[in-house]
Structure 1
């Protein structure tokens, strides 16, 4: 499925997990900056609606159904690109907040497959096109990938692995025309992240942000991504940590009574 503007071709950006939250916001920011945005996600109706919205605004957008954990599907998706300027690896998420002693191994597996192997699949498959396009790989990790916290080991482990993937890739392809940028957000309030983590329990999800006056928004993170991507091609923002002012670390957050 696709929707595209008739305007002249421009720099192409693929955004995974583009159906909501940071992914959708990033697509909007990159499209507004003049990129032809390719929206990739499993929820086809959502990305089709977003692509139509962007095209209606005179921007360039296409929607393609994609499950980043399905390598064959990712390889088929990558075949449509001879050159590519931007890949935003945003697909991911958290499941559960159980201690190591009682965590569900299935949750751990799903988080690893989406956050880590999903990033690996898309990056490997699209790296030839990114090299041809002197492109940028963006890995959306998390401050969870830099420090641990109780009740988060499964997600923390996946995000640590994703952080190492980005760091190692940067070492291995140095000298190529591709740069690797990692964005590590702290507390971001979106419509779905905490709800998904707590399996739809609205009370538990709300407790994450209780008393925090201004958590980051998806738009804040998308703006950060768009800024990094727009730097001159010789400028590599290796790792950018972005948190709300009220959050000093993963475990130190100022909350109003």
Structure 2
């Protein structure tokens, strides 16, 4: 039986890692580090740095493995994501069995950006892995990108007694501002979907690579700072080969 620990590690700052997460790392027999291609080697390096700082168990093995890429086109989006998750589950199984064998009882850990419950597919992939081998999943919560963004800008997440909608760039672009809410948090936006909105009465707080050394922050009215965000985001992507960003928007009363 494999105890599969999905460990939330925050958004890039080693100090985000909780004591519970550190204990789980040091209790692991095997820690898996996914490699997402040469343009994202820095993400793997950040995981290596976290382990260098927090892992002190000499018997814990650290194994890196190649993460399958999602098909860019062809099948509908939902089908491509489903096929991709199947491929990742198989990659997890292969990495585990090659490192530990097929009959092992062991603790295995993966380090998950932010928190595994929020716009991350690790739990869904773990469920698929459970169809391939005996596992018991365990989640160690981490600081989310939403928490890091609000802390970086020193703002509250919500208005007084008001709801908040968490959504994606795809949803914002296709459906516009969600009905009945003052505050919207947008994740997984590769196209700066806020440009599709009427900017009147909207303030935005944006962060790229929040809590990492490359962190960039922009805040202001959407009309005034939208193009500045687009420019900074493009520069970060050109510099790093990738960019992780998030933003909060609020309509004025």
TM-score range, shorter chain: 0.3 to 0.5
Q: Which has the higher contact order (CA 8 A, sep 6+)?
A: 2
TM-score calculated relative to the size of structure 1: 0.34
Whose strand proportion is higher, 1 or 2?
2
TM-score calculated relative to the size of structure 2: 0.35
